[in-house]
Structure 1
Amino acid sequence: MSKITHEMHRPHALRRLLVASLLALLGLMAPAWAVTTTTTHYTYDATGSLIKLTKPSGAYFDFTYDAAHRLTDITDALGNRIHYTLDAAGHRTEEEIFDANNQRTYHHSRVYDALSRIAQEIGAHAGEVTSYTYDANGNLLTVTDANTHTTTHSYDALNRRTATTDANAATTHYAYDARDRLVSVTDAQQHQTTYAYDGLDNLLQETSPNTGTTTYAYDSAGNRVSKTDAENVVSTYTYDALNRVTQGDGRLSYYDENGYLGKLTHVAASGGYITYRYLTYDQAGRLTSVTAKGLPHTYDNFIRYRYNADDSISQIAHSKYREINYGYDAAGQVSSVSLHDWDDGGPTDFVFDITTPLASNISHLPFGPIQTFTYGNGKTQTRQYDQNYRETGRSVPDVMTADYGYDPVGNLTGITDPLSPSGSPRTFTYDPLNRLTGASAGNTHAFTYDDVGNRLSSSINAAQTTYTYDLGSQKLLTLTGSQQASYQYDANGDVAHVGNRSFTHTADYLLTAITDTVNGSPVITLSNRYDGFGYRVMKYPNVGGYVTYDHDVLSGTLLNETRWAGVGYGFFAHTYAYLEGEPLARINYDVDTDPTQTPWPVHYYHNDRLGTPQKTTDQTGNLSWAAQIDPFGKATVTSGYITQNLRFPGQYYDEESGLHYNIARFYDPNLGRYLESDPIGLAGGINSYAYVGNNPLNYIDPYGLNPATAAEGAVIGLGIGGPPGAVVGGVIGFGLGAWGTYEFWNWYNNENANDDGQSGEQCPTKGKESKPPFNGPPNGYEEGPRRGREYGPDGKPIRDYDNPHQGADYPHVHEWPNGVREHPGRPYSPIPKK
């Protein structure tokens, strides 16, 4: 048999993302996926090796092997090719990507020692070498980055990591109980976080210097039934017969309605208005719509999804009359984005049907990022990359031209943009932990930090501010100098007061109100409401009226915002379209200026390499908004005639407070830190308030949880500065301020793994029954009680989808680069339950 056809029990990553987004706060286990009815074809050679995979859309991949039946090449339908060079032991010592003309576009290599351990990771350019050494027991001992900065690990007699010393000689210590469970983490300033467990390894108590003591209780099935936080607020959880959460943290969850067996079908949350979200699915189990009820003016407030044969999103309808459509090329990559506006008369008496291209002629590097595309207003964006697939330039004629320079570990060191307001090159410097220390970007910025990543001082053009902290925690207390402020916190570690301004949070750490004291009386400046998924759905500013928001539950991106009047404001609505995670266009509707609703003006985004908007142009190509963005994300608008509130990826500027809404938390760009401690604790970094380990020019945090590289949203972890390889476009070798903590969690969970002798798990589990098999069906999927596993064309793991559990109370995904499971996993829920 040379060809077989499967009906695969296989989810698409976006559907996994959906379930995570919906169930994160509820601590639920994802249901088994429905069998799809699409057909994927597999062709084998005489030895049984897979030589061709054809997807339902017709896109295909060819596979080539050497004489030992080891995979050496993967070729797509466009003729692009990945080539692996193998040593005698089968290690991939070199990875290259070639285009259809056989021109190399990507190059990465590795050196292994005699025991098959990675000794060096080598980038595409001279000097880009990260080195690793090991002790006699095979434990990772040192990591030396391409700037010769070394991180060192220590172990006890049981090979448990007991200490990590970073390149600044600051040491973090770890301690364990007799059952090898982590019981304490002590940072370089002697701030200690402790953990206590019951006999079944359930976490009973966590005591943090930042968030106080939180205790937990469980039922006989191991479900968490209560959480008592440091404010002594008790949250209780109830479950149905299938151990699915039905009530908790002020949310009600319903399942199996309207024939959608095994699916979450609607969620209700209280908070001012009762908000409901209703979900529908198709026969393949894919989400088809999310409808909001319980808010004012929600007569057509829904999001609808459609898919192509390969399960990729082909359409997102933002209302009955507005659709964003996505086209794909033969390799399955996005090739076009268009807007379809229409009205059949209905209650408005307006009839129109308009299709507007938003992006066309989209081309990609082979197996890589976008290279060029044309905006709907005729402007063309071009990007350049080096052979690390690291962006070295981005240009839109007459709008922006930016050339990027990097140091050997991948830190951005310079930007040249002759169209910038200053016209001068911008330069950046870093300390041995890759924390930003200096920036010459219009203004001259300087920053210093302590051993755990707290900012000690900042200066702008020599105007200096000094920061002081609570001795027993990482809580900022005062600013003195050019900026002056004092901070007070609630017991959960959330900022409660800044001078005459107070902040109110829910039991699950969501900011609900900002109140200012004016003439001795409290005045509510801003209040927020959230839905059952944890997204902000309504904002009440002090000017009156209110603003409603709709987020994409698949990605967390903002899709719609609508302002319903207020002082100085009329009704307006904005719809957002995205291209591979970056803002692409905003479609405006303002009833005061356009009562006929047509044509709706479009503004196109021109972003930096991280996806942060720098400028927008209108349909005629004229500049409609521009801003100077400082290193930590504060925007100074320099020109334009529209208001534009998107900032760092995942952040939305609130003009009422000057803060950025970042889904899980609120970010203050003046401080480079969050108002709230990280909901995922130390899994987000040793400093639970700092933004992306103080490296905002190289990392993003779209959900307010975990630093990630802009390329593929890869979380800082073993892939950055440690085996098995550097993340494409990422910084190689991150200090303890961020990377070292992640790398510890990787080590800890590897050591506590029992996954068929393969690379270990991030997640403490109760036996091997929680894991799917290591080897599985080619391009297939296997579901375990606590984890699903997706397999590549060779039947090896490429991605794990983990459900919430003790040790990680939020859904998350683990990649398997080069056959090694990455750690930690990256959250794929916007708001995890703490």
Structure 2
Amino acid sequence: MNSPGKQQDRYTWNALGLMSSHRRITGSVESWRYTPRGLLAAHTDEEKRETRWQYTPEGRVAALTNGNGAQYRFSHDADGRLVREVRPDGLSCTFILDDSGYLTAIQTTGTQGGVRRETQQRDALGRLLRTENEHGQRTFSYNRLDQITAVTLTPTEAGQQQHRMQADTVRFEYDRSGWLTAEHAGNGSIRYQRDALGNPTDITLPDGQHLTHLYYGSGHLLQTALDGLTVSEYERDSLHRQIMRTQGQLATYSGYDDDGLLSWQRSLASGSAPVLPGQRPARQGCVTSRDYYWNNHGEVGTIDDGLRGSVVYSYDRSGYLTGRSGQMYDHDRYYYDKAGNLLDNEGQGAVMNNRLPGCGRDRYGYNEWGELTTRRDQQLEWNAQGQLTRVISGNTETHYGYDALGRRTRKATYGRHTGHTARSRTDFVWEGFRLLQENVQQQGWRTYLYDAEQPYTPVASVTGRGESRQVWYYHTDVTGTPQEVTAADGTLVWAGYIRGFGENAADISNSGAYFHQPLRLPGQYFDDETGLHYNLFRYYAPECGRFVSQDPIGLAGGINLYSYAPNPIKWMDPLGLHDILADTDIVCRGGACSADSFKNGSGVAADANGKLSGISTQAKPNAGLETLSQPFKHNQIGVATVADIEKAGGTITLDGKLNSSNGSMMMNHATVDGLTAEQAEKLFCPTQPNPVPVEQRGPKRGC
């Protein structure tokens, strides 16, 4: 098959029809070995990092060994259900099930013998009704369509006294069709009006402002306005890709190469000469400009930036980012052990327990649950939910609070010996799992607006009301990370120098004034009091390119529970729940899966060669058919493998798409691009029966 750059890759398959090797034109080889029963026994990447699986005689996974030789070990009951997991650092999880196979409790034993226990209660349909641990209880309510209508957090006395946890309820309202119409939370309510396709056309914010969206026939965004003030208007090509966006007195243009990859970006003053579709304007006179040069593996090789000069990226044969060199600041080199831990230097030994002992001059310490507790001069404290609740640093301490959904709703910094008056406080309002507003003490409210196709890419923020209202425009790179911010008149007010794993080395705007710009990698928020990035369900340390606590979804997020991504220029994790698909993982789509159904799918576009983009599917590492079929009400499910999709020339992206029906995150949503309708039909057909009982299936949306 041909990958980006028309590179020809070759695949071999064994007698069972299972992929056994993938050879790139460079000669590097990725390989898979299987047991005689067809179970995956080993995967070796192009850098000879090997992951191995061992099985019981019944075919259940007994051990998973990473590239360092460290093991996860698993135990099962007589019915083949997982009942215990022991991780490489010695932490263990025991899963207690009822007679129906539903999880009733998780008991986690730390490396020093401590125990955390979470109990779960479900109804006869298997819906989660309550969870409880030593610091709090959460309860869940549902409507007749099985949509969540309320989540309530009730802290225990220990949660209140030790972690300042507060009682909280988040409530949801829906219309008769199942679309989300309102979300009520502690910091205010959000209300939605929608068009016939379910697109939000009018969003009433907690402060009474109205955010309005105008779409054209296919459902693609045309204009965004706030309280009648047009913030941005959009132009698109025949594939509905964004090629122009107004940003105050500027217009930002984008162009794409023959493989559909972003090729260039330019921000020009509104009085500049018109830019024709496909025309790449000269850099002269641009406020911001970027040109992207991709290698044959679909990786960014060079970015030529009007402010930062040329930045060159290097990778190993498996796609791990190994270097970043530019005309500003030092050359960065990145070293890894065979489990993907980012190291200080090439000679550093393997981190067998994945608990990195430090980064540069910073030394790290952990509690028995694998949560970072010491960093620099900081002491970090965590609750039983795995949430960071307090950081002590010198003469200050900062407290963090969360709502019933686990979203951070407040942070406040105090002098340790000056009473209870906060030196600074910030409150947060969320739209689903995306930051909508923040109120910074003495600065006022700021509202964030995002790209319709990339839900964690900021477009603008708005501060003030009435005559004092100001709009600030974000200029992002190919990942959706802000690189510059301009005022409505086109003045540059902030420009960062973002290193390979998201650390901002400096403000290079020379504006002479401070501008509050906390947004970093997609979904991340910079905390100036710690230097960490808040990443919704976890915190991220940009200096070492990893999370500071283990993934709450466990191995579903990858074999290294601290890893962010091997290549942050290509991967992103806006929720802090890291997923990377293997070639053997399955991809599901609901319905007949005929060629016409793919062509006419919501949000699907076709290029001149008939290649489709925007095909909605469900995918998740190691997930089975039942898990991925649950969101579909269809009686039939189409199933393909990641390898088959890529072999046919397609790509698949785990994109964590916002669910327009209830405002939550569709955790397993994945978008397939680059297939013709006929190829898609061949891959996903014949369909098979949906294994999920009808009453347990989610509401049918799209697909």
User: When the two structures are superposed, what TM-score results if normalisation uses the length of structure 2?
Assistant: 0.76
Q: 1:674, 1:690 within 8 Å by CA — same for their partners in 2? A: yes
2:254 is matched by which residue type in structure 1?
Answer: R
2:407 is matched by which residue type in structure 1?
Answer: Y
2:149 is matched by which residue type in structure 1?
Answer: T
Distance 1:193 1:493 in 2: 15
Distance 1:179 1:221 in 2: 21
| Equivalent in the alignment of 2:608 | none
| Equivalent in the alignment of 1:663 | 536
Distance 1:203 1:337 in 2: 48
Specify whether residues 330 and 144 from structure 1 end up closer, same or farther in structure 2 by C-alpha distance, changes over 3 A only: same
| Equivalent in the alignment of 2:502 | 633
Deviation at 1:283, TM superposition (A): 1.6
Residue deviations 1:614-672 (CA, integer Å, cap 9, x gap): 11111222112111111111112223432110001000000000000011211111111
Q: How many residues align?
A: 580
Q: 2:32, 2:44 within 8 Å by CA — same for their partners in 1? A: yes
Match of 1:179 among 43, 58, 71: 58
Q: How is 1:634-783 mapped onto 2 (pairs within 5 angstroms)? A: 634-635=503-504, 636-639=506-509, 640=511, 641=513, 642-693=515-566, 695-706=567-578, 716-718=581-583, 761=625, 763=627, 773-774=635-636
Q: 1:210, 1:677 within 8 Å by CA — same for their partners in 2? A: no
Residue deviations 1:545-579 (CA, integer Å, cap 9, x gap): 421111211xx22101112x3xxxx1511111112
Deviation at 1:509, TM superposition (A): 1.6
1:217 is matched by which residue type in structure 2?
Answer: I
Match of 2:303 among 415, 433, 436: 415
Please list every run of 5 or more consecutive structure 1 residues that lacks an aligned counterpart in the other structure. 1-120, 341-354, 459-464, 590-595, 708-714, 729-743, 754-760, 777-798, 804-809, 823-834
| Equivalent in the alignment of 2:320 | 435
**Is residue 277 from structure 1 mapped to residue 161 from structure 2 by the alignment?**
no
Match of 1:497 among 374, 379, 401: 374
Residue 185 of structure 2 aligns to a residue whose secondary structure is strand
Q: How is 1:151-300 mapped onto 2 (pairs within 5 angstroms)? A: 151-210=30-89, 212-231=91-110, 232-249=115-132, 250-255=136-141, 262-269=146-153, 270=155, 272-293=165-186, 298=187
Give runs of ≥4 in structure 1 deviating > 4 Å: 465-470, 719-724, 762-765, 814-817, 819-822
Distance 2:36 2:656 in 1: 32
Q: 1:815, 1:821 within 8 Å by CA — same for their partners in 2? A: no
Please list every run of 5 or more consecutive structure 2 residues that lacks an aligned counterpart in the other structure. 156-163, 269-285, 415-421, 590-603, 605-618, 639-654, 660-665, 686-703
| Equivalent in the alignment of 2:355 | 475
Deviation at 1:685, TM superposition (A): 2.7
Q: How is 1:452-471 mapped onto 2 (pairs within 5 angstroms)? A: 452-457=339-344, 470=351
Residue deviations 1:730-762 (CA, integer Å, cap 9, x gap): xxxxxxxxxxxxxx986x66xxx6xxxxxxx38
| Equivalent in the alignment of 2:29 | 150
Distance 2:474 2:569 in 1: 19
Q: How is 1:545-694 mapped onto 2 (pairs within 5 angstroms)? A: 545-553=424-432, 556-563=433-440, 565=441, 570-580=442-452, 581=455, 582-589=457-464, 597-635=466-504, 636-639=506-509, 640=511, 641=513, 642-693=515-566
Match of 2:294 among 389, 394, 406: 406
Deviation at 1:468, TM superposition (A): 5.7
Deviation at 1:821, TM superposition (A): 6.6
Distance 1:524 1:227 in 2: 35
Deviation at 1:507, TM superposition (A): 2.1
Deviation at 1:138, TM superposition (A): 1.6
Q: 2:141, 2:151 within 8 Å by CA — same for their partners in 1? A: no
Specify whether residues 428 and 812 from structure 1 end up closer, same or farther in structure 2 by C-alpha distance, changes over 3 A only: closer
Stretch moving more, 129-138 or 194-203: 194-203
Distance 2:169 2:138 in 1: 9
Q: 1:278, 1:292 within 8 Å by CA — same for their partners in 2? A: yes
Measured on the aligned residues, the alpha-carbon RMSD in Å equals 3.4
1:451 is matched by which residue type in structure 2?
Answer: K
Q: 1:415, 1:427 within 8 Å by CA — same for their partners in 2? A: yes
| Equivalent in the alignment of 2:158 | none
Q: 2:337, 2:349 within 8 Å by CA — same for their partners in 1? A: no
Specify whether residues 718 and 261 from structure 1 end up closer, same or farther in structure 2 by C-alpha distance, changes over 3 A only: closer
Match of 1:506 among 383, 408, 432: 383
Distance 1:411 1:719 in 2: 22
Distance 2:348 2:205 in 1: 44
1:489 is matched by which residue type in structure 2?
Answer: Y
Q: Percent identity?
A: 25
Distance 1:656 1:388 in 2: 43
Residue 555 of structure 2 aligns to a residue whose secondary structure is helix
| Equivalent in the alignment of 1:100 | none
Q: 2:588, 2:628 within 8 Å by CA — same for their partners in 1? A: no
Specify whether residues 586 and 216 from structure 1 end up closer, same or farther in structure 2 by C-alpha distance, changes over 3 A only: same
Distance 2:562 2:684 in 1: 28
Distance 2:439 2:210 in 1: 17
| Equivalent in the alignment of 2:311 | 426
Specify whether residues 452 and 721 from structure 1 end up closer, same or farther in structure 2 by C-alpha distance, changes over 3 A only: farther
Distance 1:646 1:629 in 2: 11
User: When the two structures are superposed, what TM-score results if normalisation uses the length of structure 1?
Assistant: 0.65
Q: 2:5, 2:298 within 8 Å by CA — same for their partners in 1? A: no
| Equivalent in the alignment of 1:66 | none
Q: 1:469, 1:475 within 8 Å by CA — same for their partners in 2? A: no
Residue 556 of structure 2 aligns to a residue whose secondary structure is helix
Residue deviations 1:26-47 (CA, integer Å, cap 9, x gap): xxxxxxxxxxxxxxxxxxxxxx
Q: How is 1:296-307 mapped onto 2 (pairs within 5 angstroms)? A: 298=187, 301-307=188-194
Q: 1:467, 1:476 within 8 Å by CA — same for their partners in 2? A: no
Specify whether residues 468 and 190 from structure 1 end up closer, same or farther in structure 2 by C-alpha distance, changes over 3 A only: closer
Deviation at 1:773, TM superposition (A): 3.6
